[in-house]
Amino acid sequence: MAELMDYAEVVERFDPVLGLEVHVELNTKTKMFCGCANEFGGEPNTKTCPTCLGLPGSLPVLNGKAVEGAIRIGLALNCDIAEWCRFARKNYFYPDMPKNFQTSQYDEPIAFDGYLDVTLDDGEVVRVEIERAHMEEDTGKSLHVGGATGRIHGAEHSLLDYNRAGVPLIEIVTKPITGTGARAPEVARAYVTALRDLLRAIGVSDVRMDQGSMRCDANVSLMAKDTEEFGTRTETKNVNSLRSVERAVRYEMTRQAAVLADGGSIRQETRHFQEADGTTSSGRAKETAEDYRYFPEPDLAPIAPSREWVEQLRATLPEMPWERRKRIQGEWELSDEALRDLLNVGAVDLVAATVEAGTTPDEARGWWVNTLAQEANSREVELAELPITPAQVAEVIALVSSGELTNKLAKEVVQGVLAGEGSPREVVEKRGLKVVSDDSALLSAVDEALAAQPDIAEKIRGGKVAAAGAIVGAVMKATKGQADAKRVRELIIERVGS
């Protein structure tokens, strides 16, 4: 385990510098340079052809929809769109890159000089400047077998799946992010969160970090308080959850600070994030651009998107997430604090979808921000990853509103849905959770409770109506929480008074 410096001391002695590189797989029907299906999963090496396998004599043909997606991403990020750009070959050997080079863009990206305004938990807005958003192809996937960690070190052998090779990829690279101090990890997470929301809104990717369609490489360096020269950076590769982005940045800050304080130096390298304990481990020495021997791709013509086409694509952009939030805040009459609560747990879109499914904003907020957010936190997953849909939450709320469920029973139904037992109504039937509303059954339970507690019955007769709560509780216990508490109370008063 590496030596770590206390975080408070880190930010007292050093200024962090971040650089975030986010890779986004586009949701086109086919791959970047061939007609193979762009689909997640499947039997290994079944979505391949000579082109994405890099076989001799095969030639690439550019996917026009991928170019369109790249331009729309650039526009959404307030970037300039190049009037002329081209692909380059990025040369390196690795088994999951079948051609021994990656078709990418180097010094002539399709989009550049943009920004994204990011809102932190307390409402502070940080502008993250975008260096570039460029097109490239994804690599295949290596499976290392026989080791303890799933990585190549210690493995007995490796298997290669090229289904992902050639999938359209956009890499979005920030300019150095400075001046964030102690909030650097929070800024990193907020940026990737905002970027994910934006990409989902414009419909170019499913941004499933758990499936690798959105991945973040986190570059971190530290510079002493009395200097302006950036420190040596490390790049933590392929971080695949929002929580992990924050943890990886924080860990690297504490690790690097301990090394520097001890008189050591930081090695420019890639590092791997360990989900289990939130640490990073050394990978390989980090190459420079010169090491990749970039040169223009001879098999692809340059791209020169007309200004008319760019403006047509700009017109297709939907309402941006931050604009939508402002509108929703007004329509739902939310305070700034209430909106931040929704943002902090990632519930805005989920609540909106629940409202669209037929419930009120207040009811939907109550379930997502409280009950379901606690469930997501206990499972250590994002709220949207819970196995329950907005339509199902709206169905639960409707069952409560109709009197078929109490709030307590509704929570049991939600647990059943989360456990994979079916729709809310199916869970109600399977678990027998419907509210008991038959007066004869309720009266029987009321009579038993009154007989068991005659002193309480006398208090009620004496005018102490609040004492009825004890009898209500006994009836609710006898009916396993399935009685209508309001109706039970009415029956108690009637019974005692008769």
Q: DSSP characters for 189-207?
A: HHHHHHHHHHHHHHTS---
Does residue 199 sit in the same domain as residue 70? yes
Does residue 56 sit in the same domain as residue 137? yes
Pick from 356, 236, 315: which is nearest to 75 by CA? Answer: 315
DSSP code of residue 175? P
Q: How confident is the model at residue 66 (pLDDT cuts 50, 70, 90)?
A: very high
Does residue 334 sit in the same domain as residue 445? no
Question: Is the predicted pLDDT of residue 289 greater than 80, yes or no?
Answer: no
Integer Cα distance of 476 and 446 in angstroms = 10
Integer Cα distance of 435 and 483 in angstroms = 5
Q: Which of 431, 450, 482 is the last residue of a domain?
A: 431
Query: Helix (H, G, I), strand (E, B), or coil: what is residue 390?
Result: helix
Query: What is the structure's pLDDT at 345?
Result: 84
Integer Cα distance of 492 and 250 in angstroms = 59
Model confidence pLDDT, tens digit, residues 397-410? 998 887 777 788 88
Question: Is the predicted pLDDT of residue 437 greater than 90, yes or no?
Answer: no
Query: How far are the Cα atoms of 68, 129, 296 from residue 106, in angstroms, in the given order?
Result: 19, 19, 9
Question: Is the predicted pLDDT of residue 381 greater than 70, yes or no?
Answer: yes
Query: Helix (H, G, I), strand (E, B), or coil: what is residue 344?
Result: helix
Range of the domain at 476: 439-497
Does residue 326 sit in the same domain as residue 407? yes
Pick from 216, 217, 25, 215: which is nearest to 138 by CA? Answer: 25
Does residue 247 sit in the same domain as residue 373? no
Pick from 346, 248, 263, 207: which is nearest to 18 by CA? Answer: 248
Q: Which of 431, 455, 476 is the last residue of a domain?
A: 431
- Beta partners for residue 116, in sequence order: 128
Q: How confident is the model at residue 196 (pLDDT cuts 50, 70, 90)?
A: very high
Does residue 39 sit in the same domain as residue 92? yes
Measured from the Cβ of residue 311, the count of other Cβ atoms closer than 10 Å reads: 11
Query: What is the structure's pLDDT at 470?
Result: 73
Integer Cα distance of 154 and 281 in angstroms = 15
Does residue 407 sit in the same domain as residue 273? no
Question: Is the predicted pLDDT of residue 438 greater than 90, yes or no?
Answer: no
Q: How far apart are the first and last CA of the chain?
A: 75
Number of domains in the chain: 3
For residue 492, give both structure tokens: 């108690």
Contact 399, 363 (CB under 8 A): no
- Residues of the chain with pLDDT > 70, as a percent, come to 87
Does residue 410 sit in the same domain as residue 450? no
Residue 1: inside a domain, yes or no?
no
Contact 95, 158 (CB under 8 A): yes
Residue 486: inside a domain, yes or no?
yes
Residue 314: inside a domain, yes or no?
no
Of the candidate ranges 133-142, 215-224, 279-288, 380-389, the one whose mean pLDDT is the lowest:
279-288
Which residue's structure tokens are 């970039």?
A: 294
Residue 474: inside a domain, yes or no?
yes
224 φ, ψ (degrees, to nearest 5) = -60, 155
Residue 296: inside a domain, yes or no?
yes
Residue 491: give its domain's CATH number. Answer: 1.10.10.410
Query: What is the structure's pLDDT at 299?
Result: 95
Q: How confident is the model at residue 286 (pLDDT cuts 50, 70, 90)?
A: low
Does residue 472 sit in the same domain as residue 354? no
- Residues of the chain with pLDDT > 90, as a percent, come to 62
Which positions ≥6 away from 86 have C-beta within 8 Å?
Answer: 105, 108, 296, 297, 300, 301, 302, 303
Query: What is the structure's pLDDT at 480?
Result: 62
pLDDT, mean of residues 179-195: 96
Of the candidate ranges 37-46, 228-237, 342-351, the one whose mean pLDDT is the lowest:
342-351
Query: What is the structure's pLDDT at 298?
Result: 95
pLDDT, mean of residues 161-180: 96
Computed over every residue of the chain, the mean pLDDT equals 88
Q: How confident is the model at residue 41 (pLDDT cuts 50, 70, 90)?
A: confident
3-state SS, 434-476, equals CCECCHHHHHHHHHHHHHHCHHHHHHHHCCCHHHHHHHHHHHH
- Beta partners for residue 112, in sequence order: 80, 132
Query: What is the structure's pLDDT at 288?
Result: 66
Question: Is the predicted pLDDT of residue 325 greater than 60, yes or no?
Answer: yes
Does residue 358 sit in the same domain as residue 453? no
Query: Helix (H, G, I), strand (E, B), or coil: what is residue 490?
Result: helix
Contact 247, 278 (CB under 8 A): yes
Does residue 31 sit in the same domain as residue 11? yes
Integer Cα distance of 146 and 131 in angstroms = 40
Q: How confident is the model at residue 339 (pLDDT cuts 50, 70, 90)?
A: confident
Integer Cα distance of 355 and 359 in angstroms = 5
Higher pLDDT pick, 338 / 479:
338
Integer Cα distance of 280 and 236 in angstroms = 7
Integer Cα distance of 256 and 236 in angstroms = 13
Q: Which of 275, 309, 343 is the last residue of a domain?
A: 309
Residue 426: inside a domain, yes or no?
yes
Residue 170: inside a domain, yes or no?
yes
Query: Helix (H, G, I), strand (E, B), or coil: what is residue 379?
Result: helix
- Taking phi over 0 as left and psi of -120 to 50 as alpha, with beta for the rest, 92 belongs to beta
Query: What is the structure's pLDDT at 341?
Result: 86
Does residue 476 sit in the same domain as residue 376? no
Query: What is the structure's pLDDT at 382?
Result: 84
Residue 2: inside a domain, yes or no?
no
